[in-house]
Amino acid sequence: MKEEPQFRKLTQSMEKALKPERFEHSVGVAYTAAALGMRYGADVNRCLVAGIMHDCAKCLDHEEQLKICRKHDLPVQPAELSNKKLLHASVGAYLAEHKYGITDPEILTAIRWHTTGKPDMTILEKIIFLADIIEPNRKHFTEMDLLRRTIFDDLDKGMALTLEHLLIYLKKSGEEIDPTTESAWRFYNDRK
Protein backbone atom coordinates (compact mmCIF):
# COMPACT_ATOMS: atom_id res chain seq x y z
CA MET A 1 0.00 0.00 0.00
CA LYS A 2 1.23 3.50 -0.87
CA GLU A 3 2.15 5.60 2.15
CA GLU A 4 0.22 8.83 2.80
CA PRO A 5 2.31 11.94 2.13
CA GLN A 6 3.45 13.64 5.33
CA PHE A 7 2.37 17.07 6.58
CA ARG A 8 5.93 18.41 6.36
CA LYS A 9 6.36 17.37 2.73
CA LEU A 10 2.94 18.72 1.79
CA THR A 11 3.75 22.02 3.50
CA GLN A 12 6.87 22.33 1.33
CA SER A 13 4.80 21.57 -1.80
CA MET A 14 2.24 24.22 -0.84
CA GLU A 15 4.94 26.79 -0.15
CA LYS A 16 6.11 26.29 -3.73
CA ALA A 17 2.64 26.18 -5.32
CA LEU A 18 0.83 29.01 -3.52
CA LYS A 19 1.39 32.76 -3.34
CA PRO A 20 3.00 33.79 -0.01
CA GLU A 21 -0.23 35.20 1.46
CA ARG A 22 -2.24 32.13 0.48
CA PHE A 23 0.46 29.90 1.94
CA GLU A 24 0.40 31.83 5.24
CA HIS A 25 -3.39 31.47 5.32
CA SER A 26 -3.08 27.72 4.71
CA VAL A 27 -0.59 27.33 7.57
CA GLY A 28 -3.03 29.31 9.76
CA VAL A 29 -5.87 26.97 8.76
CA ALA A 30 -3.72 23.88 9.44
CA TYR A 31 -2.83 24.89 13.01
CA THR A 32 -6.28 26.30 13.82
CA ALA A 33 -7.76 23.01 12.57
CA ALA A 34 -5.25 21.10 14.74
CA ALA A 35 -6.36 23.12 17.80
CA LEU A 36 -10.02 22.36 17.01
CA GLY A 37 -9.09 18.71 16.52
CA MET A 38 -7.59 18.66 20.03
CA ARG A 39 -10.74 20.28 21.41
CA TYR A 40 -13.22 17.95 19.65
CA GLY A 41 -11.27 14.68 19.50
CA ALA A 42 -10.48 14.60 15.78
CA ASP A 43 -7.21 13.15 14.47
CA VAL A 44 -4.74 16.05 14.70
CA ASN A 45 -2.58 14.90 11.78
CA ARG A 46 -5.63 14.70 9.51
CA CYS A 47 -6.53 18.25 10.59
CA LEU A 48 -3.03 19.48 9.71
CA VAL A 49 -2.99 17.76 6.31
CA ALA A 50 -6.52 18.84 5.31
CA GLY A 51 -5.75 22.38 6.54
CA ILE A 52 -2.50 22.83 4.63
CA MET A 53 -4.04 21.34 1.45
CA HIS A 54 -7.54 22.92 1.49
CA ASP A 55 -6.65 25.72 -0.98
CA CYS A 56 -4.23 23.70 -3.14
CA ALA A 57 -6.20 24.58 -6.30
CA LYS A 58 -6.22 28.34 -5.56
CA CYS A 59 -3.02 28.83 -7.55
CA LEU A 60 -4.96 28.02 -10.74
CA ASP A 61 -7.24 30.57 -12.37
CA HIS A 62 -10.92 29.77 -12.96
CA GLU A 63 -10.41 28.76 -16.60
CA GLU A 64 -7.68 26.29 -15.64
CA GLN A 65 -9.91 24.89 -12.90
CA LEU A 66 -12.76 24.43 -15.40
CA LYS A 67 -10.38 22.67 -17.78
CA ILE A 68 -9.50 20.13 -15.07
CA CYS A 69 -13.23 19.56 -14.43
CA ARG A 70 -13.94 18.97 -18.12
CA LYS A 71 -10.94 16.70 -18.56
CA HIS A 72 -11.76 14.52 -15.57
CA ASP A 73 -15.57 14.68 -15.64
CA LEU A 74 -15.89 16.54 -12.34
CA PRO A 75 -19.41 17.92 -11.84
CA VAL A 76 -19.69 21.74 -11.94
CA GLN A 77 -22.65 23.40 -10.17
CA PRO A 78 -24.29 26.54 -11.63
CA ALA A 79 -23.08 28.65 -8.66
CA GLU A 80 -19.53 27.43 -9.33
CA LEU A 81 -19.68 28.94 -12.81
CA SER A 82 -20.79 32.41 -11.73
CA ASN A 83 -19.00 32.68 -8.36
CA LYS A 84 -15.37 32.06 -9.24
CA LYS A 85 -14.35 31.57 -5.62
CA LEU A 86 -16.18 28.24 -5.26
CA LEU A 87 -14.76 25.80 -7.79
CA HIS A 88 -11.32 25.46 -6.15
CA ALA A 89 -12.91 23.23 -3.48
CA SER A 90 -13.80 20.31 -5.76
CA VAL A 91 -10.75 20.85 -8.00
CA GLY A 92 -8.65 20.98 -4.81
CA ALA A 93 -10.00 17.63 -3.64
CA TYR A 94 -9.17 16.19 -7.07
CA LEU A 95 -5.60 17.58 -7.06
CA ALA A 96 -5.01 16.55 -3.44
CA GLU A 97 -5.73 12.98 -4.48
CA HIS A 98 -4.28 12.76 -7.98
CA LYS A 99 -1.40 15.24 -7.85
CA TYR A 100 -0.35 15.12 -4.18
CA GLY A 101 -1.18 11.47 -3.43
CA ILE A 102 -3.65 11.87 -0.57
CA THR A 103 -5.94 8.84 -0.37
CA ASP A 104 -7.71 9.38 2.97
CA PRO A 105 -11.36 10.00 1.99
CA GLU A 106 -12.00 11.98 5.20
CA ILE A 107 -9.34 14.51 4.20
CA LEU A 108 -10.57 14.66 0.60
CA THR A 109 -14.19 15.40 1.54
CA ALA A 110 -13.04 18.05 4.06
CA ILE A 111 -11.27 19.83 1.16
CA ARG A 112 -14.31 19.31 -1.09
CA TRP A 113 -16.78 21.02 1.26
CA HIS A 114 -14.60 23.76 2.76
CA THR A 115 -16.11 26.70 0.86
CA THR A 116 -19.84 26.04 0.90
CA GLY A 117 -20.32 23.72 3.85
CA LYS A 118 -23.24 21.28 3.59
CA PRO A 119 -25.82 19.69 5.88
CA ASP A 120 -24.67 16.88 8.20
CA MET A 121 -20.90 17.27 7.90
CA THR A 122 -18.25 15.05 9.52
CA ILE A 123 -16.23 16.53 12.39
CA LEU A 124 -13.20 17.01 10.13
CA GLU A 125 -15.33 18.71 7.42
CA LYS A 126 -16.72 21.12 10.03
CA ILE A 127 -13.27 21.78 11.47
CA ILE A 128 -11.75 22.70 8.09
CA PHE A 129 -14.75 24.81 7.06
CA LEU A 130 -14.53 26.76 10.35
CA ALA A 131 -10.72 26.97 10.58
CA ASP A 132 -10.73 28.52 7.08
CA ILE A 133 -12.84 31.38 8.42
CA ILE A 134 -11.34 31.99 11.86
CA GLU A 135 -7.60 31.35 11.34
CA PRO A 136 -5.51 34.21 12.77
CA ASN A 137 -4.78 35.95 9.41
CA ARG A 138 -8.48 36.37 8.50
CA LYS A 139 -10.12 39.74 8.89
CA HIS A 140 -13.48 39.38 7.06
CA PHE A 141 -16.08 39.26 9.76
CA THR A 142 -16.97 41.96 12.25
CA GLU A 143 -17.91 39.58 15.04
CA MET A 144 -14.79 37.46 14.77
CA ASP A 145 -14.23 37.26 18.55
CA LEU A 146 -17.73 35.90 19.08
CA LEU A 147 -17.34 33.44 16.19
CA ARG A 148 -14.03 32.14 17.54
CA ARG A 149 -15.40 31.77 21.08
CA THR A 150 -18.57 30.01 19.92
CA ILE A 151 -16.68 27.62 17.63
CA PHE A 152 -14.36 26.52 20.44
CA ASP A 153 -17.33 26.25 22.81
CA ASP A 154 -19.78 24.23 20.67
CA LEU A 155 -18.99 22.99 17.14
CA ASP A 156 -22.58 22.88 15.81
CA LYS A 157 -23.53 26.24 17.30
CA GLY A 158 -20.31 27.51 15.73
CA MET A 159 -21.47 26.12 12.37
CA ALA A 160 -24.88 27.84 12.63
CA LEU A 161 -23.38 31.21 13.59
CA THR A 162 -20.56 31.08 11.03
CA LEU A 163 -22.93 30.10 8.20
CA GLU A 164 -25.26 32.93 9.20
CA HIS A 165 -22.39 35.43 9.05
CA LEU A 166 -21.14 33.95 5.79
CA LEU A 167 -24.59 34.31 4.16
CA ILE A 168 -24.90 37.93 5.36
CA TYR A 169 -21.42 38.66 3.99
CA LEU A 170 -22.18 37.01 0.62
CA LYS A 171 -25.52 38.83 0.27
CA LYS A 172 -23.88 42.17 1.04
CA SER A 173 -21.06 41.60 -1.44
CA GLY A 174 -23.55 40.50 -4.13
CA GLU A 175 -21.76 37.19 -4.76
CA GLU A 176 -23.73 34.19 -6.02
CA ILE A 177 -24.67 31.94 -3.11
CA ASP A 178 -24.43 28.18 -3.51
CA PRO A 179 -27.79 26.72 -2.36
CA THR A 180 -25.81 24.11 -0.38
CA THR A 181 -24.66 26.88 1.96
CA GLU A 182 -28.28 27.87 2.64
CA SER A 183 -29.30 24.27 3.32
CA ALA A 184 -26.26 23.89 5.59
CA TRP A 185 -27.33 26.97 7.56
CA ARG A 186 -30.90 25.60 7.92
CA PHE A 187 -29.53 22.24 9.07
CA TYR A 188 -27.28 23.68 11.80
CA ASN A 189 -29.73 26.41 12.79
CA ASP A 190 -32.35 23.73 13.53
CA ARG A 191 -29.89 21.91 15.81
CA LYS A 192 -28.94 24.86 18.00
Exposure on the CB side of residue 21, measured as CA atoms within 13 A = 3
Query: Rounded distance, CA 11 to CA 30, Å?
Result: 10
Question: Which of 27, 55, 127, 128 is in the footprint of Fe ion by CB under 5 A?
Answer: 55
Q: In 33-47, which positions are buried (b, 16+ CB within 10 angstroms) versus exposed (e)? A: bbebbeebebbeebb
Rounded to a whole number of angstroms, the minimum distance from the CB of residue 32 to Fe ion is 11
Nearer to Fe ion by Cβ, of 47 and 191: the residue is: 47
Q: Which residues contact 111 (CB under 8 A, 6 or more apart)?
A: 50, 53, 54, 56, 89, 92, 93, 96, 128
Question: Which of 42, 91, 125, 132 is in the footprint of Fe ion by CB under 5 A?
Answer: 132
Nearer to Fe ion by Cβ, of 118 and 189: the residue is: 118
Rounded to a whole number of angstroms, the minimum distance from the CB of residue 29 to Fe ion is 6
Nearer to Fe ion by Cβ, of 55 and 125: the residue is: 55
Considering only 32-40, 50-58, 123-131, 151-159, which stretch makes contact with Fe ion by CB under 5 A?
A: 50-58
Q: Which residues contact Fe ion by CB under 5 A?
A: 55, 132
